[in-house]
Amino acid sequence: MSQLPLALELREGHTLDNFLAGPNGAALATVRAAADGEERQVFVWGGAGQGRSHLLEGAVRRAQEQGRDACLLPAGELLPLVPEVLESMEQFDLLALDDVDRFAGHAQWEEALFHLYNRVMAGGGVLLFSAAAAPGAPRWLLPDLATRLAAGPVFRLQPLSEEELAALLTERARERGLKLGAEVARFMVMRSERSPALLLERLAVLDRTALARQRAPTIPFIKDVFGW
């Protein structure tokens, strides 16, 4: 399989099994079906930190574990390159294009993506898309491309509740070997933006700092670490 001229490594720990679905159960189930080859196309969209990249990375990892050729394509990392990097990418069994709306307004990239879409569909491959907005929201120069992006199931990712975010923190802390009490987890959620990605970044900082200082993650300690 040909390789892209840049490193597109999956982040450690992003799997479909550890994606906390909350109100996004249908999106998770459909993305999982796509990773298993049972759906041809899925589009997920939502605000920053809602888990779009986690879903796509998890799907790529799941497909790879099943022995299928799968590749993650973050639009933000592709834009500095030339659109020709998309040529022959239909050889993959599954392609996951993260932040695909970043291509909107770039005529050559839109055309390259349009043709890639057609080749993948003709060849029986699977396409996953993520974006900050619904397929028709960005100002695509090619209306036919926007139509194709919306041809399969489309899901808006809904934010998790405070209780679900606290449960996410507690579970991820447990995976790290860090004992985070329910009250402490709720405190972190109340003091942070309601973003799973940001909360997990802060959990990583807390884990490193607690280990370095040999301290338990209590509320006073967390206030000291983050200046709350």
Half-sphere exposure at residue 228, Cβ-oriented, CA atoms within 13 angstroms: 15
Q: Are residues 32 and 88 in the same domain?
A: yes
Total domain count for the chain? 2
Predicted confidence at residue 120, as pLDDT, reads 98
Query: Of 156, 177, 206, which marks where a domain is finished?
Result: 156
Question: Could you list the residue range(s) of the whole structural domain that residue 204 is in?
Answer: 162-226
Per the prediction, the chain carries an average pLDDT of 93
pLDDT in tens, 167-205: 999 999 999 999 999 999 999 999 988 888 889 899 999
pLDDT at residue 49 in the model? 81
- Concatenate the DSSP letters of all residues of 131-182 into one string: ESS-TTSS--S-HHHHHHHTSS-EEEPPPPPHHHHHHHHHHHHHHHT----H
The answer as to whether 10 is a domain residue is: no
Among 156, 173, 189, where does a domain finish? 156
Nearest alpha carbon to residue 24 among 189, 163, 155, 199: 155
- Give the pLDDT confidence score for residue 220 in this predicted structure: 96
| 189 and 212 assigned to the same domain | yes
135 and 212, same domain (yes or no):
no
The CATH number that applies at residue 198 is 1.10.8.60
Q: What is the pTM of this model?
A: 0.85
What is the C-alpha separation between 117 and 137, in angstroms, rounded? 19
